[in-house]
Amino acid sequence: MSTTAEKTFVVIVGGGVAGLALGNFLLRSGIGCIILEKDSCEYVEHRQRAGALDGRGVRMLREWGLEEVFGDFSAGPTDSAGFPLLIDGEPRLWDAADDDSEGIFCPQQILVRNLIKVFLRDGGDLRFEAADISLEDLGDRPTVRHLDATGSAKVIDCELIAGCDGDRGISRPSIPADILTRYAHEHGYAWLAVLADVPADPLAVMAVHSRGFAAQITRGPNASRFYLQCPLTDTLDQWPDERIWSELGARFGRPVAATGPITDRQLVPLRSVVYSPMSYGRLYLLGDAAHIVSPMSAKGMSLALHDAEVFARAVIHQVEKDDSSLLDSYSETCLRHIWNAQTSAVWITETMHNSGDASYEGEFRKQLARVELERMIESPTAANRLFE
Ligand SMILES: Cc1cc2nc3c(=O)[nH]c(=O)nc-3n(C[C@H](O)[C@H](O)[C@H](O)COP(=O)(O)OP(=O)(O)OC[C@H]3O[C@@H](n4cnc5c(N)ncnc54)[C@H](O)[C@@H]3O)c2cc1C
């Protein structure tokens, strides 16, 4: 079979939030790039995941002139009034505002769909259903081989590779194992994550209860993601629809305002992971390919965007000034930011979960977590209004 040879400056492996944001940043800066995505456009555009974007992510996309990607459904700010938090059924208000008053609820699939639309409209090269991707000669003159959607073999010569292919992609495993260190923390429990055709009003509500943590968070005008803390050993068979709705009602201290068809359910073990360094030769890891943050912090999408921006600025600096210093410090710059985010993510995860079901960490840790919880929340008066 003949192989078509091509050339570009950056090959981006993976068309999720990190890869698509990076592609748009580079395209707007006049730097050649090709995005290779293993799944179909249809699949990628409908993959439900995150729902919250922090103020930093919102400002960043605005600064790049990409405000249109927030799209048809985005609501916020996520925290101007605070989140209603039900503690043993009693409404309280969690004013999570740090510097984040511009944060919004924006379902990830809408952000992804719009990033794809803008990238293609502006002339970007995005290849869905790219198969058998392999990365070669990472140290000097990288090449990326793949089969395109029609099965034709392609080899792309490039200067840099951006590994944006998530936790299960091929980029990170392309780095020799003795170079990479994995730092991981298992929180010891899972979330049953349920997607249902139910509008969320208010847009987010969380519950701390001796039965465990629970939450309902908007995923668009007619959909919500529900979360229930559960043991790591639970299976989906143990969670039929009726149990889900009644357990949510028990933890919220009131029945769920509206129920509807459940369209997806999965068990997500809560873990925090960082891989270091985030670069090897001319391969750079971005987003979930380099780190997983506990979903309790709702920062995964924002961290992916942060990496994309740091990397894009470094590439622009290389091209415009012929200076690799920002690329050289890419891993260090991102790791500093990520460890900071991990600190808050682990803290909020432990505070919210240890404050509830004491069977995981014991009564002593529960009392400590309750003190932390009280420090971070406000009086019930404002919270009650959110349920009126
Ligand atoms: C159930 C769930 C709920 C979440 N909730 C939140 C939340 O509320 N807030 C938040 O901020 N974050 C949340 N996250 C995390 C967030 O979704 C991720 O952090 C974010 O998607 C990371 O973006 P990414 O581009 O790095 O990776 P991904 O979104 O995983 O994108 C990687 C892309 O690479 C592609 N790919 C994989 N392998 C290959 C390959 N070999 N070749 C080519 N392409 C490949 C994939 O198909 C995918 O399109 C959640 C995650 C899950 C699973």
- Asked whether residue 194 is assigned to any structural domain, the reply reads yes
Q: Does 329 lie in the same domain as 259?
A: no
Give residue 371 CA to ligand 1 midpoint distance, Å.
34
Q: What is the per-residue pLDDT for 387?
A: 52
- Asked whether residue 97 is assigned to any structural domain, the reply reads no
Q: Does 300 lie in the same domain as 254?
A: no
Within 6 Å (CB) of ligand 1, which residues are found? Answer: 13-19, 36-39, 44, 49-52, 108, 130, 133, 164-166, 169-170, 193, 268, 287-288, 295, 298-302, 304
- Asked whether residue 25 is assigned to any structural domain, the reply reads yes
Domain span at 281: 3-77+102-182+272-346
Q: Per-10-residue mean pLDDT for the chain, 388 residues long?
A: 91 98 98 98 88 90 94 58 85 70 84 97 98 95 96 97 98 96 97 95 92 92 94 98 97 91 95 98 98 94 97 98 98 98 95 95 96 80 51
Q: Does 288 lie in the same domain as 223?
A: no
Q: Does 362 lie in the same domain as 231?
A: yes
Q: Does 262 lie in the same domain as 132?
A: no
- Asked whether residue 92 is assigned to any structural domain, the reply reads no
Q: Does 342 lie in the same domain as 323?
A: yes
In SS3 terms, the chain reads as CCEEEEECCEEEECCCHHHHHHHHHHHHCCCCEEEECCCCHHHHHHCCCCCEECHHHHHHHHHCCCHHHHCCCCECCCCCCCEEEEECCEEEEECCCCCCCCCEECCHHHHHHHHHHHHHHCCCEEECCCEEEEEECCCCCCEEEEECCCCCEEEEECCEEEECCCCCCCCHHHCCCCCCEEEEEEEEEEEEEEEECCCCCCCEEEEECCCCCEEEEECCCCCEEEEEEECCCCCHHHCCHHHHHHHHHHHHCCCCCCCCCEEEEEEEEEEEEEEECCEECCEEECHHHCEECCHHHCCHHHHHHHHHHHHHHHHHHHHHHCCCHHHHCHHHHHHHHHHHHHHHHHHHHHHHHHCCCCCCCHHHHHHHHHHHHHHHEECHHHHHHHCC
Give residue 349 CA to ligand 1 midpoint distance, Å.
20
Q: What is the per-residue pLDDT for 377?
A: 84
Contact 32, 128 (CB under 8 A): no
Q: Does 158 lie in the same domain as 195?
A: no
- Asked whether residue 88 is assigned to any structural domain, the reply reads no
Residue nearest (by alpha carbon) to ligand 1 atom 38: 169
Q: Does 236 lie in the same domain as 374?
A: yes
How far apart, in whole angstroms, are the C-alpha atoms of residue 75 and residue 102?
Answer: 11
- Asked whether residue 83 is assigned to any structural domain, the reply reads no
- Looking up residue 252, the CATH number of its domain turns out to be 3.30.9.10
Q: Does 374 lie in the same domain as 305?
A: no
**107 upstream amide cis, omega within 30 of 0:** no
- Counting the structural domains of the chain, the total is 2
Contact 69, 61 (CB under 8 A): yes
Q: Does 374 lie in the same domain as 264?
A: yes
Q: Does 113 lie in the same domain as 222?
A: no
How far apart, in whole angstroms, are the C-alpha atoms of residue 122 and residue 3?
Answer: 28
- Looking up residue 34, the CATH number of its domain turns out to be 3.50.50.60
Q: What is the per-residue pLDDT for 105?
A: 83
pTM over 0.85: yes
- Asked whether residue 94 is assigned to any structural domain, the reply reads no
b/e code 369-387 from CB counts within 10 Å (16+ = b):
bbebbeeebeeeeebeebe
Q: Does 51 lie in the same domain as 10?
A: yes
Q: Which of 17, 20, 45, 49 to mutate to test the pocket of ligand 1 (most atoms within 8 A of CB)?
A: 49
- Asked whether residue 91 is assigned to any structural domain, the reply reads no
